[in-house]
A and B are shown apart, each in its own frame.
Chain A
């Protein structure tokens, strides 16, 4: 069952890694759906 255990470990690493990579690449839902370009914030 080494192949199964290795696959589970790979699955966890891939899931965490892709989440980290996509978040840092600006693909989070928040970054994709909002912008401050046309909004005056503050004063």
Chain B
């Protein structure tokens, strides 16, 4: 019995010690660390005592922070880094979206900032510079050379240079290109140049109208491009007269003009620039008109890799895997860069066809040109026309 009296308190004490040991939670996520609040803190606040919490509590010392897997660490609930990494990399295996299209499931696309910065920075700066330099060069050329006159004066009789359908095709592509260039520049430079001038609301109306014009007038440009190509390809194939014309600089400086057919080498360069650059602008434009439908850059980059072009240039293998948005961004940049080049070419073309050369505009105005102008600038073609008509004045009309 005496033994029992001694054992019972001992068992009680041992069991109490066991309970205390069971409550030792070192290594458990719920262990208090500096910065966390305890039950005593909560009870003290309920008694009305002033107990600091949150930002007022001292920050944990380095090494005292709870492990990353803690449910209530300093950052609150644990963040699923892998999930966000997958979202950022467009690699969610089971993503679903109510939107249609291949880009609907891409929530983050970090190439967007690079594109935006390039679009508002170098593209706009160097594009504007190109157009400005072209205008300045034309002005300098005009000051040095002046207007290219018909050296021997007008003959007073005209021959037909372009038929109605040819002039229709020219004006279709010309008028649509001017509209597309203006509206394209508005959409590119509007945020930087026009919003500060007119304000957001006025620019918004202008930009919406400009977008409608740009999207829908593009079809007229493409039709004009096809017409011009079909009608004039035969006259624009390179031949030996072009070499002589180029060697003599087209007779721009000095007297006398190198012989040329219906189109001289300079006009052939304009023609091919319009056809090649215009086609490139059209294809990239269609890709932008129907987003995510036409993939241009991924197969092109893959083809270049296969051909070893970037490797030859020391660039290594280019990453040819593009997100749908990157496809669109490259298409937009390509569309704008090539358009700037074509705009520069067309500025030079407009100059020489109007202010720069006497008698040139009549070719596209009325369709008839003075015989002397034709003999000076397109002597081979003029001789052919005259020979076909029997004698110089036969079938020609007096110049007005």
Show the binding face of A for B, using Cβ within 8 Å: 1-4, 6-8, 10-11, 14-16, 18-19, 27, 32-39
Contacts and interface: CB of A to CB of B under 8 A. Distances in A.
Given A18-B216, A32-B291, A4 B171 contact: yes
B100 A34 contact: yes
Contacts of A37: 98
Interface stretch (B78-86, B217-225, B247-255, B314-322): B217-225
A11 B220 contact: yes
A7 B172 contact: yes
B367 interface: yes
Given A7-B171, A36-B98, 20 more contacts: A1-B366, A3-B168, A3-B171, A3-B367, A6-B171, A7-B169, A10-B172, A11-B179, A11-B220, A14-B219, A14-B223, A15-B216, A18-B219, A27-B290, A32-B101, A33-B104, A38-B96, A38-B97, A38-B98, A39-B98
B176 A19 contact: no
A27 B100 CA distance: 13
B154 interface: no
Q: Of A11, A15, A37, A38, which is in contact with the most chain B CB atoms at under 10 Å from its CB?
A: A11
Dominant secondary structure of chain B at its interface with chain A: helix
Contacts of A10: 168, 172, 220
A16 B366 CA distance: 28
A11 B178 CA distance: 12
Contact of B164 (A2, A33, A34, A35): A2
Interface of B: 96-101, 104, 164, 167-172, 174-176, 179, 212-213, 215-217, 219-220, 223-224, 290-291, 364-367
A27 B367 CA distance: 40
A2 to B, nearest CB: 7
Contacts of A18: 216, 219
A42 to B, nearest CB: 15
A39 B96 CA distance: 11
Contact of B101 (A14, A15, A16, A33): A33
Contacts of A14: 216-217, 219-220, 223
B290 A11 contact: no
B290 A15 contact: no
B290 A35 contact: no
Contact of A33 (B100, B171, B172): B100
B220 A15 contact: yes
Nearest to B292: A32
Contacts of B164: 2-3
10 contacts: A2-B164, A3-B168, A6-B168, A7-B174, A18-B219, A19-B215, A32-B101, A34-B100, A35-B98, A35-B99
Given A1-B365, A11-B220, A19 B212 contact: yes
Contacts of B176: 11
Contacts of B366: 1
A27 B219 CA distance: 15
Q: Of A3, A7, A8, A38, which is in contact with the most chain B CB atoms at under 10 Å from its CB?
A: A3
A8 B171 contact: yes
A18 to B, nearest CB: 5
Given A1-B365, A32-B101, A33-B99, A19 B220 contact: no
Q: Of B96, B175, B364, which is in contact with the most chain A CB atoms at under 10 Å from its CB?
A: B175
A19 B212 CA distance: 9
